Amino acid sequence: MIILVHGTAAACFLTILTGWVAYATAVLVFALGVAAARDRALLGAARSPRAIEFRPSGEAYCLLANGDSLPIAAPGGIVTSCWTALRLRSPWRRSLILVEGMLSREAFRLLRIWAIWGRLPGVASRQLAGLP
């Protein structure tokens, strides 16, 4: 869709402008569309999300393609039965949107629980310590 929209914009520039300016503008606009599709839609950028990692401390991190990780702020995202939006703690104010078809049913349920409560279900801390 991104490439289609940029291709249409390039065709509009060819229609409106004349000469070498029209061709140069059309090529640049179309190239921008290809770059945007690769960066955003196809997740080809180095800072594209690849996985979510839950640490034993209860914190979650978004692992990026370049090997970096960004902490995920929870609770505080938007949680519905079909999709979940998580806020990443980064200077770019990024968000991570996950749709239910991206994960198995159980994994998506656990992600929604974590996004609401900030922790995964498990054994109570007093039970782990062996306290009555």
Each residue of 26-59: pLDDT tens digit? 999 999 999 888 777 777 777 888 888 988 787 8
Per-residue confidence band for 25, with pLDDT thresholds at 50, 70 and 90: very high
DSSP single-letter state for residue 42: S
- Same domain flag for 63 and 116: yes
**94 is written with which tokens?**
């990024």
- Same domain flag for 59 and 97: yes
- Could you tell me if residue 126 is inside a domain? no
Residue pair 89/71 in contact by the 8 Å Cβ criterion: yes
- Same domain flag for 37 and 63: no
Q: Which residue in the block uniquely carries the two structure tokens 């039970």?
A: 127
- Same domain flag for 65 and 113: yes
- Same domain flag for 19 and 73: no
- Same domain flag for 12 and 70: no
Where does the chain show beta strands of DSSP type E?
Answer: 49-54, 60-64, 69-79, 83-88, 95-99
- Same domain flag for 31 and 67: no
Residue among 109, 76, 70 at smallest CA distance from 89 = 70
What is the C-alpha to C-alpha distance for residues 73 and 71, in angstroms, rounded to an integer? Answer: 6
Q: What is the pLDDT of residues 65-105, one digit of tens each?
A: 889 899 998 776 788 889 999 988 877 778 888 888 888 99
- Same domain flag for 114 and 71: yes
- Could you tell me if residue 76 is inside a domain? yes
